[in-house]
Amino acid sequence: TQLLEQSPQFLSIQEGENLTVYCNSSSVFSSLQWYRQEPGEGPVLLVTVVTGGEVKKLKRLTFQFGDARKDSSLHITAAQPGDTGLYLCAGQYYNQGGKLIFGQGTELSVKP
Amino acid sequence: NAGVTQTPKFRILKIGQSMTLQCTQDMNHNYMYWYRQDPGMGLKLIYYSVGAGITDKGEVPNGYNVSRSTTEDFPLRLELAAPSQTSVYFCASIIDMNTEAFFGQGTRLTVV
Give which of A4, A99, A104 to mutate to test B binding, by max B Cβ within 10 Å: A99
Alpha-carbon distance A45 to nearest alpha carbon in chain B (angstroms): 7
Q: CB under 8 Å to A112, separation ≥6 — which residues?
A: A15, A81
CB proximity B25 to A under 8 Å? no
Chain A residues lying within 8 Å of B46, measured CB to CB? none
In A1-112, DSSP assigns E strands to 5-7, 10-14, 19-24, 29-37, 44-49, 55-58, 61-65, 71-76, 85-93, 100-102, 106-111
pLDDT digits (tens, 9 = 90+) for A19-73: 999 999 988 989 999 999 998 899 999 999 999 999 999 999 999 999 999 999 9
Residue A2 reports pLDDT greater than 70: no
CB proximity B74 to A under 8 Å? no
Residue A95 reports pLDDT greater than 80: no
Nearest CA in chain A to B56: A99
Q: CA-CA distance, B64 to B54, in Å (whole number)?
A: 16
